[in-house]
Amino acid sequence: MTNPTSDRPSATDAGVGGAAIRVRALSHAFRGPEGTVDVLRDLSLDVEAGDYVAITGSSGAGKSTLLSLLGGLDAPQTGTVEVGGTNLHGLRGDGLAAYRRATVGFVFQHFGLVETLSAQENVELAAALAGLGRAARRTEASRLLDAVGLSDRAGHRPAKLSGGERQRVAIARALVNAPRLVLADEPTGNLDEESAVGVIGLLERAHRRLGTTLVLVTHNRMLAARGSRRLRLVDGSLVQAA
Amino acid sequence: MSWRDAASLAWSGVGRRFGRTVLTIFSVALAAALLTALLAVAGTARTRVLSQLTRGGPLAGIRVEAAAPNFAQLQSDDPTPGAPRPITNGAVAEIAALPEVEAVLPVVSVPEFVIPSISPTSGGRGPRPFADALVGVSVRDPEILPVSVVAGRLPSAGSLREVCVTEAYLNRLHIPTGQADRVVGTHLALGAPRVFPGLAFDQDRGLWIKPEIVGVVAQDAGTGAILGSVQLARRQLAFAQAGPDPGGSFAVPASQYSGLLVVAKGLNDIGPARQRIAAIGYSTSAPQQLIQSVLRYLHVVEIVLSGIGLIALLIAALGIAGAMLAAVRERRREIGVLKAIGARDRDVRRVFLVEAGIIGLIGGVVGTLAGVAMALMLGGAVNRYLTQQGLAGVRATVPLGLLLASVLGSTVLALVAGVAPAQRAARLPAREAVAEG
């Protein structure tokens, strides 16, 4: 694991611990009206547990597709994807849902909050899906919203929150089930610079405290530079970023 | 995800796109209102029609005449009776003991001289006496009497001072049925006739009473313009029967009872009951075939009206399905995110099904209440028209079963309509969470 600057975050032993990622010969294509488009070609990746990896690439390079496959949002067509000891090959439907609940926390560029629920209810929703009781999920959601600095906004719906606040709620939701892998897809894409720095700081603090593996997809090179490893997706494969 | 959590999420989803949700609920409400109103009106009309056929009496009512049966016309609703035959107490007990019989009400009829206390409304003369009959029935069970009240009330049970009059009495006084209230509270003199034989000539005397008219009725218990308690009629009859009736000049009946009103246990018991009563030796009549024929037609009408209401509900269900399919399209990314944070296919399906159910339930409740209001308003308007025409009014009733069926039916139909959209939502791939726009 590279660590170019001494003040950059690194994985710690505290918290739940991270999930190691092993990808071998991963290929994925999409069928469209103009034919088949190969997005990932024979991609391989090794991420140690608790690592912090930033992945960059041009638009349409397949960054989100790779994240979807690592997060079990889609099943790999060829190749193997193993996360935290779970082989995602052959998992479908409920199997992938169980993997996502137990292992992964997602942070999306578009925040992904349910507009008709309050911040508190959005965070509780993820806990409810994991089977947590009402009292426990309420406590945990309150704790996390406090940790991201939004305890006074817990009752507000997303429409009443700024972009940065919405992303903080999304981070709290991603962390409520103590995931071993956090996948962040352009988490600062819709934010101003100040909010972006705050959000990345939150992710990195959670990564340090919980020891989770953090995979960040971004087109922002400055943010990518904060990762302990920087990879670039080119022609469907990963290369070390400059 | 538990049903409770799904309901919470679905409830919050119903509030989104408020205008579309309101329109969808409105379509369900309209359909439920139409179905409820149509069936309530049909039920009220059915009750009214049958009540008219039985003159307010029970559907399974049988009239027993003080006459021998006509075995050639036993199957007829209204056979020609045979020779007169007195009804004895023993016969009453025998008929009451029949397995098909629910109740037996004796009818006592006695000729009376009648002197009204108020003058006719036209003709310019004072009260004019006339000969008619007092019909005595037990008023303890008014719901099984073939009597419907037009104005006022029935006499108290066992009363010797209260009577009702019929429209025939009003006609004598040239009082329109619409003004029947005019005679309520007035008195009339009734005199049961009796012949006192004398050495040289017979003398006619009357047992005079002056009861109060407490109501105006339409009755089919017996032939007579005056209706009173069976106790009053028996007392008058006992006086009249104590003397001779040479030449039948006063038509004093020889039988204690002019007839019986028998209530069978059900419509299917009427035929067997009539056969057994004929075997005991008395003629019977009952609008059995007429009622069954009318019931069949009414049933067809109810089926047609139900069909209209169901078609309306079906259209509303299509609206729900369309609205929910649009919602699924609009919420693709949200569904993807739900799956990304751990929802299974069945969790997503559950949320959308509950959403459809909520729309159906709200629409069903609102529509059913609106339908009840419509039925009551319509019933009120019809009632006003009937009473203005001097006919017995109608009271719209809405059975609890109809209310529950309407609400439940709307909810179930909405759930069925929501199945396809819920399935489509459940099948959306989780990768929709990261899909463009």
Is it the case that residue A3 has pLDDT exceeding 50?
no
CA A215 to CA A67: how far, in whole Å?
8
Q: Among B260, B206, B215, which residue's Cα sits nearest to residue B93?
A: B260
Task: Give the pLDDT score at B235.
Answer: 92
Is it the case that residue A1 has pLDDT exceeding 50?
no
CB–CB of A100 and B430 under 8 A?
Answer: yes
Minimum mean pLDDT among B164-168, B230-234, B295-299: which range? Answer: B295-299
Q: Which residue of A has its CA nearest to B434?
A: A64
Tokens 């037996």 locate to B104
Is it the case that residue A4 has pLDDT exceeding 50?
no
Amino acid letter at B366? V
Task: Give the pLDDT score at B121.
Answer: 62
Res. A236 pLDDT band, cuts 50 70 90: confident
Confirm if B77 and B285 have CB atoms less than 8 A apart: yes
Instruction: Report the residue of A64, A77, A129, A182 to disrupt the B interface, i.e. the one with the largest count of B CBs within 10 Å.
Output: A129
Is it the case that residue B147 has pLDDT exceeding 60?
yes
Q: How far is A114 from chain B (nearest CA, A)?
A: 7
State the count of interchain CB pairs (< 8 A) between A and B: 84
Percent of chain A with pLDDT over 90: 40
Is it the case that residue A7 has pLDDT exceeding 60?
no
In this structure, what DSSP letter does residue B429 have?
-
Between A84 and B396, name the one with better pLDDT.
A84
Res. B75 pLDDT band, cuts 50 70 90: confident
Q: Which residues of A touch B433 (CB under 8 A)?
A: 73, 106, 108, 112
- The 3-state DSSP class for residue A173 equals helix
Task: Give the pLDDT score at B51.
Answer: 73
pLDDT digits (tens, 9 = 90+) for B86-122: 898 899 999 999 999 988 989 999 989 999 887 666 6
Res. B138 pLDDT band, cuts 50 70 90: confident
CB–CB of A129 and B15 under 8 A?
Answer: no
CB burial of residue B303 (10 Å; 0-12, 13-18, 19+): exposed
Q: Which residue of A has its CA nearest to B17?
A: A116
Task: Give the pLDDT score at B55.
Answer: 65
- The 3-state DSSP class for residue A164 equals helix
Task: Give the pLDDT score at A15.
Answer: 54
What integer is the mean pLDDT of A201-213? 90
CA B21 to CA B9: how far, in whole Å?
15
Question: What is the CA angle B37-B38-B44, rounded to 5?
Answer: 85
Q: How far is A26 from chain B (nearest CA, A)?
A: 17
CA B141 to CA B154: how far, in whole Å?
11
Domains parsed from chain A with CATH numbers: 37-240 (3.40.50.300)
Q: Which residues of B touch A118 (CB under 8 A)?
A: none
pLDDT digits (tens, 9 = 90+) for B174-197: 888 888 888 999 999 999 888 777
Q: Which residues pair with A55 in a beta bridge?
A: A217, A231
CB–CB of B9 and A114 under 8 A?
Answer: yes
Between A183 and B74, name the one with better pLDDT.
A183
Is it the case that residue A48 has pLDDT exceeding 60?
yes
Tell me the two tokens of residue A209.
């405290």
Q: Label the pairing between strands A213-217 and A181-185.
A: parallel
Task: Give the pLDDT score at B1.
Answer: 84
What integer is the mean pLDDT of A136-147? 92
CB–CB of B333 and A73 under 8 A?
Answer: no
Q: Which residues pair with A28 in a beta bridge?
A: A40
Task: Give the pLDDT score at B120.
Answer: 64
Say what the ipTM of the complex is. 0.87
Task: Give the pLDDT score at A2.
Answer: 32
Task: Give the pLDDT score at A16.
Answer: 61
**Which of A62-66, B43-47, B429-433 has maximum average pLDDT?**
A62-66
Q: Quick check: A225 contacting B, CB < 8 Å?
A: no
Q: Quick check: A186 contacting B, CB < 8 Å?
A: no
Task: Give the Cβ contact number of residue B78 at 10 Å.
Answer: 12
Percent of chain A with pLDDT over 70: 93
User: Got the DSSP string for B3-70?
Assistant: HHHHHHHHHHHHTSSHHHHHHHHHHHHHHHHHHHHHHHHHHHHHHHHHHHHTTTS-TTEEEEESB---
Q: Label the pairing between strands B130-137 and B226-229.
A: parallel
Between B156 and B253, name the one with better pLDDT.
B156
pLDDT digits (tens, 9 = 90+) for A83-119: 988 888 878 888 889 999 989 999 999 899 999 999 9
CB–CB of A114 and B431 under 8 A?
Answer: no
* Residue A92 backbone zone (phi > 0: left; psi -120 to 50: alpha; other: beta): beta
User: Got the DSSP string for B287-310?
Assistant: -HHHHHHHHHHHHHHHHHHHHHHH
Q: Which residues of B touch A96 (CB under 8 A)?
A: 430
Answering whether pTM is above 0.95, one says no
CB–CB of A128 and B15 under 8 A?
Answer: no
The mean predicted confidence, pLDDT, of chain B is 86
Q: Which residues numbered 27-86 in A keep a CB inside 8 Å of some CB on B?
A: 64, 67-68, 71-74
Confirm if B367 and B31 have CB atoms less than 8 A apart: yes
Interface of B with A (CB under 8 A): 1-2, 5, 9, 12-13, 15-16, 333-334, 336-345, 347, 429-431, 433-434
* Residue B2 backbone zone (phi > 0: left; psi -120 to 50: alpha; other: beta): beta
Dihedral sign from CA coordinates of B31, B34, B36, B42 = negative
The per-residue b/e assignment along B179-190, b for 16 or more CB within 10 angstroms, e otherwise, is ebebbbeebbbb
Task: Give the pLDDT score at B292.
Answer: 80
What integer is the mean pLDDT of B388-414? 82
Res. B246 pLDDT band, cuts 50 70 90: low
CA B121 to CA A197: how far, in whole Å?
101
What integer is the mean pLDDT of B216-241? 87
Cβ neighbours of residue B354 under 8 Å, at least 6 residues apart? B3, B6, B7, B10
CB–CB of B1 and A129 under 8 A?
Answer: yes
What integer is the mean pLDDT of A163-177? 93
CB–CB of A112 and B347 under 8 A?
Answer: no
Res. A13 pLDDT band, cuts 50 70 90: very low
Task: Give the pLDDT score at B59.
Answer: 74
Between A101 and A6, name the one with better pLDDT.
A101
Q: Which residues of B touch A93 (CB under 8 A)?
A: 344-345
Cβ neighbours of residue A170 under 8 Å, at least 6 residues apart? A107, A108, A111, A112, A113, A122, A187
Task: Give the pLDDT score at B392.
Answer: 63
Q: Among A97, A125, A174, whose Cβ lies nearest the Cβ of B339?
A: A97
Between A207 and A34, name the one with better pLDDT.
A207
CB burial of residue B218 (10 Å; 0-12, 13-18, 19+): middle
CA distances from B198 to A161, B191, B195 (A): 114, 20, 9
Res. B207 pLDDT band, cuts 50 70 90: confident
